[in-house]
Chain A
Amino acid sequence: MAVEARTSDFGGKARVALNDPKLRANFRRAMDGLMSKRAAQFSDKEEWTALRARGAAVRARALARLPELLEQLEAKLTANGVTVHWAETTAEANAVVLEILQKAGARRVIKGKSMVTEEMHLNAHLEANGIRAVESDLGEYIIQLAGQAPSHIVMPCIHMNKVEIAELFAARIEGQPYTENVDELTAAARKALRDRFADADAGISGVNFAVAETGTLVLIENEGNGRLSTTLPPLHIAVTGIEKVLEKLDDVAPLLSLLPRSATGQVVTTYVNMISGPRKPGEKDGPKEVHLVLLDNGRSRVFCDTELADTLRCIRCAACMNHCPVYTRVGGHTYSFTYPGPIGKILTPQIEGLDCAGDQPHASTLCGACAEVCPVQIPIPDLLARLRTEAVHPTSIAVKGGGSGRSLAESLGWGGWTALYSSPLIYRISTRLLGLFGNLMPACTPMLREWTRIRSKPKFAAKSLHELARERGFSNDER
């Protein structure tokens, strides 16, 4: 598992990624495919508009009552025989999971896909304590073999192509000959994983939705590995963020439609698991023990700000990154932290702090492609702008590292900009001077240097529109 950097260095990592033609081709091809699959699912604009409004409303309603719904969820799950644990930090969550495993004497763990356990770096923590955790989602299995972190929240190994996976399997799976045949590669992973399912002492999974009304953990997946991980071993530990709660079982329906259609263009996932407790007396299968670990890790801080709390509506479909022109070009590893793409750009600075990921909200043109496809209507560009503000003019203690982006040069620059554009007289003089002398500006001035590396110099017009409008006699009627 790659160790996370303390700061983003988005620009530096982006430069490396942009100069990797294979990586760029892998992302471009994959994102093009995902975009067209999603578009085919939502060709009926009316249905899309109505459904996403429902999805957004369901998530907003749950978040509005988050504290009480979490208590209700805990009560219901406890009544169903599930043990609920609360963790404020990732370190606490790791300790809770380790303790449950150690108590049960578990040494071998099989894992279903879970981004929250990636956020915790759980595998590394377990390994350091002598417990082997094997990822069973094919994509997660591949990156675990490669010793990498996910580059996408739904398709963790999307940055790799067939040839790279073929080379990896031949090198890392015992007795596996080199093949680029996808069916053979999948079969090799399945064969290797079968034994891991069979000998696992415990299964660890994520959660897509936790229903407070009934105490149901909803888990969707395509490979059946999630079902095996949560039913075959005698112990199941589900791990999730506190924001994943829903009020009622009915609320699952619109999200179950929106999530796979937005993510992979599937009408429904192959498996929909509704987990409501351990094996009951007389039942022949299912785990004997089920635990749910609820992780905060900054989410309750995000919850305190009414505007930024919209971040928590996210259902992790990844449509925002699939449609992001920046993500498509730089890939997921450029984002340094667990959640890449537009959702990462708003979530990471809030969890980790603007002082260590403050460059991420600026790594966007605010084009709005993300918000356009978000199935729960998170206003991502507005939240990016808000976080840019918090970095220089902190207004909310809910944002960690607020004010860390202040610089004297920038303050002076914007002060000058404001003076120029809020005074018609100064503006008139300045545009006149720029019209006369602007084109003499050498291309090596800081702003122009970056611009002209691949573009010609912009040409100032000799006369501004203000001047031309006066000359042509356009009315300056101020009433």
Chain B
Amino acid sequence: MSKSGRPHTAYFFGTCLVDLFYPEAGLAGMELLQREGLRVVFPQKQTCCGQPARNNGHPDEARAVARLQLDAFPGDWPIVVPSGSCAGMMKVHYPQLFEGDPDHARAVAFSARVFELTQFLVEVLDAKLTDKGQPLTITWHPSCHAQREMGVVDQPKTLLRQLANVTLVENPREAECCGFGGTFAVRQADISAAMVTDKVASIEQTGAAQVISGDCGCLMNITGAAEKSRKAFTGQHIAEFLLERCHGR
């Protein structure tokens, strides 16, 4: 797409977690796209990608919700998602979910248009950011599905490294799951608690003032545990963080 010219319009799929808990991250994601000269369309019909039902063994329910998303994004513009996990659901699992369904072809075409936000900014828009913020040390937390389903590993770091006053400290255990896992956090609460406690400790050891992530599920889990145990670091979604740095807060 980048070779044949940049797209002039992009859809934004906000995700249900962003919608309810982190709308500022969603707005920031849309603004980052606008800054690159894109028209951003936010279909009001959108709800959730359907992943919770799919992961809990209810594919029919997941398909019913997914079908609404197929309807909500009818144009052929790219669909940008501020979550590697929801993007992975729509890109990797929709074609499987609609196997044998009359909407299969539509689901395949839809999945081909799905991009994770940082992936889209780097690979399609070749975004260049100028840092206007104060010196700050951060660390990165990649979500499992961003890394392993979307192949999003370097793209967010490419963007973070463009910020002149930001020092990115690598967490040696960054690739390990934070223990969120959707309903896993409640179904296997003890194991989830052990995992997030270790994750918080590994972030604390980096000495970073902030942990940045591209997925709100992980963020809610990590910052929730950090806050409850009164850790010094805070957390933020990468979209909100990048935009604030570009505005100098």
Contacts and interface: CB of A to CB of B under 8 A. Distances in A.
B126 to A, nearest CB: 23
A474 B149 contact: no
B16 interface: yes
A306 interface: no
A465 B31 CA distance: 13
A214 to B, nearest CB: 38
A124 B249 CA distance: 69
A120 B191 CA distance: 30
Interface string A318-349: 00000001100110000000000000000000
Interface string B10-46: 0010101011111110110010000000011111111
A391 interface: yes
Contacts of B182: 365
Contact of A459 (B21, B41, B44, B46): B21
Tell me whether chain B's interface is mostly helix, strand or loop, or mixed. Answer: helix
A458 B41 CA distance: 28
A441 interface: no
Interface in B150-177: 175-177
A431 B20 contact: yes
A362 B21 contact: no
Given A421-B50, A424-B68, A454-B225, A468 B23 contact: yes
A128 interface: no
A22 interface: no
B106 to A, nearest CB: 14
A12 B213 CA distance: 32
Query: For this complex, into which size category does the number of interface residues on chain B fall?
Result: 35 or more
Contact of B148 (A14, A372, A391): A372
Contacts of A366: 55, 144, 181, 184
A45 B189 CA distance: 36
A371 interface: yes
Given A369-B144, A388-B57, A476-B42, A422 B180 contact: no
Tell me whether chain A's interface is mostly helix, strand or loop, or mixed. Answer: helix
Interface stretch (A59-67, A297-305, A445-453): A445-453
Interface string A347-372: 00000000000000011111111011
Interface in A444-479: 447, 450-461, 463-470, 472, 474-479
Given A389-B57, A393-B57, A472-B27, A431 B41 contact: no
Given A424-B44, A424-B47, A468-B23, A454 B61 contact: no
A465 B149 contact: no
Contacts of A415: 61
Nearest to A28: B198
Contacts of A393: 57-60
Given A464-B20, A477-B41, 9 more contacts: A325-B179, A326-B188, A362-B187, A422-B47, A454-B193, A454-B225, A454-B229, A456-B227, A468-B27
13 contacts: A364-B184, A367-B148, A368-B144, A368-B148, A390-B57, A414-B56, A460-B21, A465-B23, A469-B14, A469-B44, A474-B40, A476-B43, A478-B74
Interface of B: 12, 14, 16, 18-24, 26-27, 30, 39-48, 50, 52-61, 64-65, 67-68, 72, 74-75, 96, 144-145, 147-149, 175-177, 179-182, 184-198, 220-221, 224-225, 227-229
